Structures are given as structure tokens and as C-alpha cells.
Amino acid sequence: MGAGEFSGKFQKTVEAFTLQSLDPTDLNRLASDALFWVVVLTGAFLAVHFFFSALPGLKGARSEEGSMNDAQFQRRDAAKILFHWVNFGAIVSLIFTGLLMFFGDPDTAGLFEWHLWAAWIFLAGLAFHIWYVTIRFKHFHRMWVTLGDLRDAMKRMPGAGGAGAEPAPKHGFYKVEQIAYHWGLAAVVLGLVITGFILWEPSRIYVAAFWMPWGWDGIFVARLLHEIFTFLLVAMIVAHVYFAVAVPKNWYVLKSIFTGRVRLSSYVKQHRGSPEFESRVKDLEGAPTAGMEEVRSD
């Protein structure tokens, strides 16, 4: 179907897609400016956090002694670990090929084929992840933040508790900041998927009807947004790796992306669980050390 064969409200002639009012040079400048500011702001934020939060934690970090019968908490199963690494590989391929095309690599056609295959792998993995979490195991509730969660988060803020104050409330399965990060990541990925389908010619006429009144100008804007979403995705991945590797209090979670398990004594210092989970923890607290056992999630 050609550009002039649309039917209905958004019908445009072929001429609309051979002429454009936006200057590609201006769009390239806007994209370059966006990349610059994303790099500067991300670097500044992580540098401030490292010197004021992560570095003191690194200096005081030490290995924990085993406790609670050396029990292990099963935080991730094999399917979630596999999804994480397949998803990681697909995103790295998407970013690498996309940035090469952005900076003008001469093999654009070959890079685009890799980019497209990585996109399909990523979308397939994402569909599996949504089905696995929401339909098979119904764990989607872990990704919601309640008013109680927000009140608890405020109590955990530095300086929120004075002398004699109660201990800071524990997190749920995920920390509030982890949930916020994942929803932000979902928004960026959604923007990338929509703009990506707008840019991909076979799907353009079906996905991008709302762009059609502007002809190529709409396509060029979609390209600019796709690039900005890419820069934001890179920044979020860098931040994700930073908080996993450079923040000592998160090291116990980092191990689980390889093994699926974390030491229960480390987990319960920061997280709460279901009544059954809490009861099992209390039983193990008073038990003598007698080898390793496994405690599953609620």
C-alpha cells in the first residue's frame, strides 16, 4: 500500500511524503543536545550519589556472618534469570546498533537487520515476562505502590526518625524506588516501541495513523523521539548497573541474578513478607545451625 492509498480521515497524497518543512539539520542538533544533557545529568546524579552515599558504604562494607540456619531465600526462579539475561542481550544489541546508526556508521542496512532481530527478541521476551508474572503466578501486585508504602518510604528517609523513634519500616518484595524505576523503564520502552514501529516502513501505515496529517514531518519527529528515548534507556541501564554494583546494601540482591537465591538473614533486614513467610523466619531465628535450607517467596 503506497503513501497516497490511505483511506478515511488521515488520507494524504504522495506529495506529503516527498516534501517536509522540518530541517533534518535542526533535528540532528536537537538529538545531539538531548544526548549531551542526558549524559551530563546522569553523570552528575551518579557522582553525587557515589560520594555521599555509596562511597561511605563501600568503606564500611564487610561480609556478614551466617544466621537463620544459613537459609536461602528463593527470590528468582530459572525462568526469571533467563529472561533477565536474554533481555539484557537484546537491549545491548538494540542500543549498540542504534547508536552506530545515529553516529553515521556506513553499514546502516546491515545494522538495521541486527537492530530489527534484536527488537523482535526483546518484544518476545517482554511478552513472556508479562504472561509469566501476571497470568501464571499472579505476582503483578508486587509492582503497585500503596499509600502505606509511600508513608513507609517517607519514614525511611534520612533524618526522618529522631531519638527514640521506631525502627524504619521494611520494604515489600520490591523497594518503592525499584517499582518507580520499573514503571519509568516501561514508559521509555513503550515510547521506543511505538516510535520504532512508526519508523519501520512495513508497519508505519498501520501504527502511525495519527502522524499521517504531517507526512514526513511526523516521521522525522518520531525519529527524534526514538533517539531521545534511546538516550534515556541507556541512562537508566547505567543507573541500574551502578546501584547494583556500587551500593553495598544491594549486593545481596545482585547475587540472585546469577543464582536466584539470596541469604535469608540479609533479605529480612530490609524486606517483609506474608504472615507465613514471617512465621517461617521466626522459626529459623531460634534454630541451631544445621546446614542450608531454602525458603520460598510469598
Instruction: Work out the burial of residue 194: count CB atoms within 10 Å of its CB; fewer than 13 is exposed, 13-18 middle, 19 or more buried.
Output: middle
pLDDT digits (tens, 9 = 90+) for 89-125: 999 999 999 888 888 878 788 888 999 999 999 999 9
pLDDT digits (tens, 9 = 90+) for 146-178: 887 778 778 777 665 554 556 777 777 888 888
The average pLDDT across 195-223 equals 78
pLDDT band at 72; cut points 50, 70, 90: confident
The vertex-124 CA angle with 123 and 129, nearest 5°, equals 95
State what percent of residues in the chain have pLDDT above 70: 74
Q: Does residue 96 or residue 135 have the better pLDDT?
A: 96
H, E, C per residue of the chain: CCHHHCCCCCCCCHHHHCCCCCCHHHHHHHHHHHHHHHHHHHHHHHHHHHHHHHHHHHHHCCCCCCCHHHCEEECCCHHHHHHHHHHHHHHHHHHHHHHHHHCCCCCHHHHHHHHHHHHHHHHHHHHHHHHHHHHHCCCHHHHCCCHHHHHHHHHCCCCCCCCCCCCCCCECCCCHHHHHHHHHHHHHHHHHHHHHHHHCHHHHHHHCHHHHHHCHHHHHHHHHHHHHHHHHHHHHHHHHHHHHHCCHHHHHHHHHHHHCEEEHHHHCCCECCCHHHHHHHHHHHCCCCCCCCEEECC
For the domain made up of 3-51+78-156+173-247, give the CATH fold. Answer: Fumarate Reductase Cytochrome B subunit (1.20.950)
- Give me 98's grid cell: 542504534
Instruction: Work out the burial of residue 269: count CB atoms within 10 Å of its CB; fewer than 13 is exposed, 13-18 middle, 19 or more buried.
Output: exposed
What is the pTM for the complete model shown?
0.79
Put the strands of the sheet holding 261-263 in their side by side order.
Answer: 261-263, 72-74, 294-296
Tell me the domain boundaries of the chain. 3-51+78-156+173-247
pLDDT digits (tens, 9 = 90+) for 21-64: 778 788 889 999 999 999 999 999 999 988 887 777 676 555 55
Q: Dihedral of CA 112/115/116/117: which sign? A: positive
